[in-house]
Chain A
């Protein structure tokens, strides 16, 4: 996803006028095909979310907000994000620091291992947690002995969300940390700064946009995660139902109005994520120009 950062440069270069000398009909045909394809696969489905949600006007849409299950799903989704995002931010920072600031054999392997949750199907991730913490899982009996319930309860949903979003912060921060180098940190150290001072005053300002980008991606994925959470939650209405699970449940019950109302909230989250991403990319590209 780092490559996205270049998309603004793409436009800048085009404005500079590096157009190919092609017949106009080729250009129009290619743009037409691309936009038609995007329309069918991307734009129509995206617009459809909003049209379906407000099909019967804003009244029925807002009526959903008096549904206790709906409100509970929103609260649970926000609660999980409030817990998982800080944890994975701290982990991502630590992992990125450890990987970029130390020389050790097998570094590339560690980076690949951190990426593992992206390669695994969310259902397999959920399955692993059930085999570990479930009643017949490896730790199940001992957890039952001390009366701790993880599967089909909030802890498993937190662990599953954290598993899925583990790599986001680290992979955004690693390249920025590499680029920033250690010179400033070493200078601060020579001048007598303490480790935490170096982190707050030197390292963090250098990596803040990359870090923020990673945090935003983590948040979007945590709030939208479906597969892994679905496996471990048991989908108990008003207890372990997040917003994406609510969408599926409402769809299965043929309550499409409710399903689309919840979808609008999640789609707005996606739009906010994309806008923030654009702003952050512009910020970093401006910084590049200044340098």
Chain B
């Protein structure tokens, strides 16, 4: 979703400071709404001694929550890379009935509240649900397992890769592919050597945005998972549980770890986009 924000901004040489109040509103609002809450978290984290911080941050239950959160999100990101590319390809290159509808529906996960997503996913993938009842005889349980966490993450991060790739695929010159073909390259060679390289920056950006979204997801996962520690408990739900137990130190430490990782991902996405701009120029 950060695709737009860091595009090159042509800087005007003659700034007109005839409206200073937008600046005042922006700074005041951001101070109260953004900096103050972030500072509150970091200051609270600073009151925990380093030894205690380390002990909470690396406690077995926390490590297991990071594992469920990040490993599942990485798995989801790779699924997104494959199927997101496929969906974008199909939407850009082929014509089929109801294509316009399918294209518009890709954005549904952006618009559908996550609690609704969780509720309907648990209903479809539970043992009595449409898909769940087909998987149960195969011994596959989705709802209330780590697989359910993955399905929820797949749902909410679906649009990112597709939407990142569509405009780039659009601009891709089909002549180049045909040239590669006519020179004897196989379909698979054409894809790996000709199609994929120019898509790579956009693909990675989409994957990273989806990953970031999946790591931070709470609403749909808390509903589809059983939220049992060492089984399918994600970091966000662990923070929530710590807060419910009035364990503010625990919540603060894990929250700080999660925030720092989110910031790292944000920096990574910005670097990716900078790389992508250079690639485009």
**Which of B16-41 touch A at CB < 8 Å?**
16-19, 21-23, 25-26, 29-30, 33-34, 36-38, 40-41
28 residue pairs of the A-B complex, CB under 8 angstroms, read A10-B170, A30-B90, A34-B86, A37-B87, A42-B155, A45-B120, A48-B124, A48-B130, A103-B11, A119-B262, A120-B259, A121-B218, A121-B259, A123-B255, A127-B243, A132-B40, A166-B34, A178-B9, A182-B12, A182-B16, A189-B16, A195-B19, A248-B118, A251-B223, A270-B108, A270-B116, A273-B111, A274-B104
Tell me if A1 is interfacial: C-beta within 8 Å of chain B: yes
Given A124-B259, A172-B4: 7 more A-B contacts, CB < 8 Å: A45-B155, A121-B235, A121-B259, A122-B218, A136-B248, A244-B219, A273-B111
B161-217 with Cβ < 8 A to chain A: 163-164, 166-167, 170, 174, 177-178, 187, 212, 215-217
Q: Which residues of A contact B102 (CB under 8 A)?
A: 35, 38
A224-264 vs B, CB cutoff 8 Å, 1 = contact: the mask equals: 11110011000000000001110110010000100110010
Please tell me which one of the listed residues A1, A37, A38, A102 contacts residue B4 in the complex, with CB atoms under 8 A apart: A1
In the bound complex, residues from chain A placing their C-beta under 8 Å from that of B158 are 41-42
Complex interface bits, A198-209 against B, C-beta within 8 A gives 1, otherwise 0: 000000000000
Q: Which A residues lie within 8 Å of B1 (CB)?
A: 1, 118, 171
CB interface residues, B 94-125, toward A, < 8 Å: 94-96, 99-100, 102-124
Is B70 part of the binding interface, using a Cβ–Cβ cutoff of 8 Å?
no
Contacting residues, chain A, for B13 (C-beta < 8 A) = 103
- Chain B contacts for A2, CB-based, 8 A: 3-4
Contact A9 B15 (CB under 8 A): no
Q: A27 — nearest CB in chain B belongs to which residue?
A: B94
Contact residues of B between 226 and 281, Cβ < 8 Å to A: 235-237, 239-240, 243, 248, 251-252, 255, 258-259, 262-263, 265-266, 270
B-contacting 9-mer, from A59-67, A91-99, A141-149, A283-291: A91-99
Interface residues in A, total, Cβ within 8 A? 116
> Looking at the complex, which one of A121, A225, A244 makes contact with B215 (CB distance below 8 Å)?
A121
B34:A117 contact, CB within 8 angstroms: yes
Q: Does B75 touch A at the CB level, under 8 Å?
A: no
B25 CB contacts on chain A under 8 angstroms? 90-91, 94
Interface size of B in residues (CB-CB distance below 8 Å): 110
CA distance A167 to B3 in the complex (A): 13
Say whether A1 contacts B40, CB under 8 Å.
no
Cβ of B63 < 8 Å from any Cβ of A?
no
In the complex with contacts A3-B166, A227-B218, A119-B248 CB distance below 8 A: no
CB of B71 within 8 Å of the partner chain = no
Which of B9, B29, B219 interacts with A107 by CB under 8 Å?
B9
B95 to A121, Cβ gap below 8 A? no
Contact B166 A7 (CB under 8 A): yes
A52 sits at the interface (CB 8 A): yes
Q: Which 5 A-B pairs have the closest CB atoms?
A: A224-B113, A128-B37, A226-B219, A227-B218, A121-B216
Chain A 70-114 against B: per-residue CB contact (8 Å), 1 yes, 0 no?
000000000000000000001101110111111100011001111
Q: Contact at A266–B112, with CB atoms within 8 Å?
A: yes
A56 CB-CB contact with B under 8 Å: no
Is B5 interfacial (CB 8 A cutoff)? Answer: yes
Quick check: B259 and A244 within 8 Å, CB to CB? no
Q: Which B residues touch A271, using CB under 8 A?
A: 111
Contact B37 A132 (CB under 8 A): yes
Q: Which of A31, A93, A130, A278 contacts B104 (CB 8 A)?
A: A278
Which residue of chain B has its CB nearest to the CB of A127?
Answer: B255
Say if the beta carbon of B10 comes within 8 Å of chain A: yes
The answer to the question of B7 belonging to the interface, with a C-beta cut-off of 8 Å to chain A, is yes
Asked if A58 is an interface residue, CB under 8 A from chain B, the answer is no
> Is there contact, CB below 8 Å, between A1 and B3?
yes
CA distance A231 to B241 in the complex (A): 10
Compute how far the CA of A139 lies from the CA of B258 in the bound complex, rounded to whole angstroms: 24
Instruction: Say yes or no: is A44 at the interface (Cβ < 8 Å to chain B).
Output: yes
Contact with A along B120-158 (1 / 0, CB 8 A): 111110000111000000000000000000010011001
B87, A10: Cβ atoms closer than 8 Å: no
Whether the Cβ atoms of B2 and A115 lie closer than 8 Å is yes
Are B116 and A263 within 8 A (Cβ)? yes
Check if A40 sits within 8 Å of B116, measured CB to CB: no
Q: Does any Cβ of B come within 8 Å of A33's Cβ?
A: yes
Which of chain A's residues have a CB closer than 8 A to the CB of B122? 251
A99 partner residues in chain B, CB cutoff 8 A: 9
A163 touches B37 (CB 8 A): yes
A223-B113 contact in complex given A97-B22, A101-B16, A103-B11, C-beta closer than 8 Å: yes
Alpha-carbon distance A10/B103, docked complex (angstroms): 10
Verify B255–A224 contact, CB threshold 8 A: no
Give chain A nearest CB distance to B279 CB in angstroms.
16
CB-defined contacts of B37 to chain A, threshold 8 Å: 125, 128-129, 131-132, 163
| Cβ of B74 under 8 Å from chain A | no
In contact, A127 and B170 (Cβ under 8 angstroms): no
Task: Note all chain B residues with C-beta closer than 8 A to A174.
Answer: 4-5, 9
Q: A21 to B19: give the CA distance in the assembly, Å.
A: 56
Let me know if B61 is at the binding interface, CB within 8 A.
no
B44 contacts which chain A residues (CB < 8 A)?
Answer: 131, 138
B263 CB to nearest A CB, Å: 7
Q: Is B94 in contact with A98, judged by CB distance below 8 angstroms?
A: no
